[in-house]
Amino acid sequence: MSVITIIGAGMMGCALSFPASDNSHDIRIVGTPLDKDIIEQAKLTNYHITLKRYLPDGIKFYSDNEMEEAIKGSDLIIGGVSSFGVDWFLKEVLPKIPNSIPVLSVTKGMIDLGDGNMLTYPEYYRKYTNPYKSLNAIGGACTSYELADKDNTHVCFCGDDINVLRRLKRMLETDYYHI
């Protein structure tokens, strides 16, 4: 059993709590400054107000100002911010994550550099953070609703270290979440 901390209480990040819970991991969810209502409601009832689903039992919820506490002892950080939260994640979150903890980003899209070039979010993060961080991403056709409802889905995990990717796959793959 590992400790998985999801930073960003959006729908897809929180949907990943379902396979993580099914694999018996301890789960912590940290809201961004935009997630206050989601975190407050989840603390009271375990209900995610935008995903419109009850999250698995046993999750610990944290506000953004409790992030460092939530990161301590983590084995994996899942970056569950929307594309609007990428710069916040880069400036406020990545510096607080030790290099020994891999980061798995669920943010879809790319950064337009304005000169015709584009970067994936892990490439963007790598450009502005410690080069020794393990920055990885999820790609593929999977919606938060499918994942929360445990429908069969298929995704790819991408990154620079195949051993880290294999470990992340073992942590999150289930009979419905195929990696």
Give the pLDDT confidence score for residue 120 in this predicted structure.
84
pLDDT band at 168 (very low <50, low <70, confident <90, very high): very high
- Retrieve residue 164's tokens: 């880290």
Give the pLDDT confidence score for residue 107 in this predicted structure.
85
Q: Please determine, for residue 124, whether its predicted confidence score (pLDDT) is greater than 90.
A: no
**Calpha distance 124→118 (Å, rounded):** 9
Give the pLDDT confidence score for residue 111 in this predicted structure.
84
Alpha helices in 8-53 (DSSP H): 11-15, 17-22, 36-45
Give the pLDDT confidence score for residue 132 in this predicted structure.
87
pLDDT tens across 62-108, in order?
Answer: 999 999 999 999 999 999 998 888 899 999 999 999 999 999 999 88
pTM recorded for the entire structure:
0.95
pLDDT tens across 125-160, in order?
Answer: 888 888 889 999 998 889 999 999 999 999 999 999
Instruction: Give the 3-state secondary structure of residue 58.
Output: coil
